Amino acid sequence: MNRIPSLRDYVEALREIGEVVEIDREVDWSLEMGAITRRCYEIGAPAPLFNNVKDAEPGFRAIGASVGASNRPGQRLSRIALSLGLEPRASAREIVDSIAAARTRESIKPMRVQTGPCKQNIRLGDDVDLLKLPLPLLHVGDGGRYLNTLGMIGVRTPDGQWTNWSVARVMVLDERHATGVIVPFQHIGKVYARWVELGQDMPFVIALGVEPLVLMAAGMPLPDEIDEVDYVGGYIGEPVEVVKAETNDLEVPATAEIVLEGTVSVRQTAPEGPMGDYGGYMYPHHPIDFPVYTVNAMTFRDDPIYPFTCAGEPPEEDHTIAGVGAAGEACHMLRDAGIPVTTVWLPFEAADGWMAVMVPPDWGEYEPDPRALCRKIAEIVLATKVGQPVKTFIVCEDDIDPSNLSELVWAIDGRNDRGENGQVVIGQVPGWPMTPYIFPHPEDVPMGWMTTRIVQNCLGPAGTHRPERTAFKHNYPAELREQVLRNWEADGFPSDLESAAAVAVTR
Ligand SMILES: Cc1cc2nc3c(=O)[nH]c(=O)nc-3n(C[C@H](O)[C@H](O)[C@H](O)COP(=O)(O)O)c2cc1C
């Protein structure tokens, strides 16, 4: 693998493949950074690196859409692939395999080192001014500027046994305070509950701008009690180098761009949000009171880069990081349960609401009843938080590339028997907060509610054969396909012309 050890090394890697654009003119934190970034996601443009943000301390830069999807032919998943140490043209299946395979490897504890680049500048107490960071007001209607949308929050249980690194939104309140979403079933919520029991404020670190693999792990639904940093160590085959925070015992990756340290109150709350989030809507249940973060120290690299997501309609990092991480974890869990699974994918377009599970053609040897297989797959995933955002499962044979929406939609229509055979309905399972419903009920609980799930059974009866496919890659002899491709440009076709489907499949 080709590990990229810091956000700034990652920006250089993006530059090499044309996936970043630097903007030197002054850009307004009030909506302009958000609007530019939103458009980048929506048209698959390179990530915008803002070198000059209005009112920010000189030298502080900001990057949006750093793990957005690209619209360059063959590079749709390049930012995700690079983040995972893969080559930029890695396919969705290679990406998911890489995440799942690391779950079967021995995890490796981090290594504490004396110091690191994140300690180049140290500010304590009242010398901290969060409002000097390039924090964007992302959407019209947001309740405030966002301090954290793509940083890693680190917390630890009071007994020191479990250190959780995750991504969750945090809204700034003033120079040293913020308020952030703490969902009870998320690991940050579980760790927070133990501090509440103790009656003591919870120490935290927020590392803004970490090495891209750490960010991927922080957004991934690993099981309870597993430290994300150990998973990353197992993934790369060596310990992650971490440094101790200045004011508490937590550690952060040594190469982090900006580190905030402090405590989350177990008593004091403040209204958080609303913020246009990953489902693409402004949520009517917000603002909600959430715990107050007090920042006691800030350390940072020279010329630090502040990363952010402008959440909303897909694809953005809630889909390209959290959705891809969920696919990897589901793939691992299903394989671990003995189910023959080729790959899993959450199509970005459904905002984490669809999970496509691909099985090999001989799936009937494992479970001859396709409906029973569909139910089993969904029940395994839904028994954990991995399944919480998923509303529709699609189970299909693996000639379909689930990251190619054209193929997937085609298969859902042509291989699904409709009615009783075609759909398995699983009733009343806890749903994810901010699930994108168009018409939320006033009594919905904003921290999640019970919903019905559907499995689209796109498998035929076991042992039957599908008719042969007539697509270019399936129907024509290999030599003829090669000949067509050899002559392509000479025949007058543009070399970079790829159909929407080809852009999606990446290879
Ligand atoms: C860009 C981005 C923003 C996210 N925002 C939130 C959030 O505000 N609240 C939340 O509970 N999860 C959020 N998530 C999802 C969590 O990071 C994800 O569910 C992760 O698995 C949580 O970590 P945990 O499994 O250790 O609990 C976000 C993920 C990403 C990638």
157, 186, 434: residue to mutate for ligand 1 pocket, most atoms within 8 A of CB: 186
Q: What string of H, E and C letters represents the secondary structure of 74-101?
A: CCCCHHHHHHCCCCCCCCHHHHHHHHHH
Low-confidence ranges of the chain (pLDDT < 50): 499-507
Percent pLDDT > 70 in the chain is 96
Ligand 1 atom with the smallest distance to the CA of 316 is: 1
Tell me the per-residue pLDDT of 255-298, one tens digit each, with 9 for 90 and over: 999 999 999 999 999 999 999 999 999 888 889 999 999 999 99
Q: How far is the CA of 270 from the centre of ligand 1 (A)?
A: 20
146, 149, 164, 167: residue to mutate for ligand 1 pocket, most atoms within 8 A of CB: 167
Ligand 1 atom 18, closest CA: 219
Q: How far is the CA of 186 from the centre of ligand 1 (A)?
A: 8
Q: 130 near 144, Cβ under 8 Å?
A: no
**Quick one: angle between helices 370-382 and 324-336, nearest 10?**
120
Cβ count within 10 A of residue 445: 12
How far is CA 406 from its chain centroid?
Answer: 22
Q: How far is the CA of 319 from the centre of ligand 1 (A)?
A: 10
Q: CA-CA distance, 354 to 126, in Å (whole number)?
A: 46
- Token digits of residue 78: 């390049």
Tell me the per-residue pLDDT of 395-426, one tens digit each, with 9 for 90 and over: 999 999 999 999 999 999 999 988 888 999 99
Q: How far is the CA of 114 from the centre of ligand 1 (A)?
A: 30
Q: What is the dihedral of CA 431, 287, 283, 27, to 10 degrees?
A: -120
Ligand 1 atom 2, closest CA: 318
* The pLDDT value given to residue 438: 61
Q: How far is the CA of 310 from the centre of ligand 1 (A)?
A: 14
